[in-house]
Amino acid sequence: MNLALMALLIAGAATVADPQADQPSLKSSNRLILAGVQYGAPMRTSASVALFMSRSLNKTYPRIEGWLVEAGAGQGGGRISVGHAGFLEYLGLDLRGVLSRTWNSPRAATPKATYGGLEAGMTILYVRVSAGVARRLAGPAGDHATIFTWSGAIQIPIK
């Protein structure tokens, strides 16, 4: 009987959860891959893939922050962006540095030029809108040395 009671107590103690086990570590490095389709300037219609790497999770204040790297290509050019993003439940804000290379038919930009700039974005659920400014770094001289960038996108988490 004592042996059975001892086994029951040990089994019960093993099932009690550690109170800190459900607390995410601030050192956690959760990753999320996002596939996107967007329309905007200078890319026109384009597709992208992004990697979000969280650097902090806080259970008492449901906020996730981290770094975001995205690459995309479309009718008007290709681009890469790197920046910081923060999400609070279904709302996300981000600030990115962007490097774009236009092709033959960009929207409101010089064809076959390279632009560098900053972009701010807001995501609600799976819909992202962004706006920014970029300066021509290389390419033919002429109009559109500084451009206004913008886009509307659908981004779906795939992992």
- Residue 9 burial by CB count (10 A; 0-12/13-18/19+): exposed, middle or buried? exposed
pTM metric for this prediction: 0.79
Q: Tell me the three state secondary structure of residue 108.
A: coil
Return per-residue pLDDT of the chain as tens, 159 residues. Answer: 454 444 444 444 444 444 444 444 434 458 999 999 999 999 999 999 999 999 766 655 678 899 999 999 999 999 999 999 999 989 999 999 999 999 999 999 999 999 999 999 999 999 999 999 999 999 999 899 999 999 999 999 997
Third-level CATH fold of 27-157: Porin (2.40.160)
12 Cα distance to chain centroid: 43
Per DSSP, 20 falls in state T
